[in-house]
Structure 1
Amino acid sequence: MHSSQGKRSAPATFSEVIAQISSLCCCTDASWIDQNSKVGIGWTLHDSQGRYILKGSASIEPTNSALEA
């Protein structure tokens, strides 16, 4: 994708982002409530064509913040 000025435009979809990566892409997320509650984490791994390779999730010990999770 190129604009009329020759600059590359930002990818608009997940597939476009993945297509620009020559190896693997790992997407992660976490669910955080407070410093005393367990944290939920999840991930997916995709190849450069955007094809799903594997996924996982877990519950981990509490963290101090959502960012830490």
Structure 2
Amino acid sequence: MATATNRRHMTVDEFCEEIGIARSTFDDWRAKGRAPQCIKLPNGKLRIRRSDYESWLDSLAEVAA
């Protein structure tokens, strides 16, 4: 079975755990357009591509520099 670190997509819970935020913070960021791009599955659940997560982190580093 694939672990969270080698899958191409992460759940919102995995994302929140990885960066240490509450789900409500993620929802707020998403509403404001500050979260990484998400994929909405047919069942309504969200996934985040690891590549989008990495790009999002890189964009934060550029702002902080």
Larger Rg: 1
Indicate whether the TM-score tops 0.5. Answer: no
Higher helix share: 2
> If the length of structure 1 is used for normalisation, what is the TM-score?
0.23
Higher strand share: 1
> If the length of structure 2 is used for normalisation, what is the TM-score?
0.24
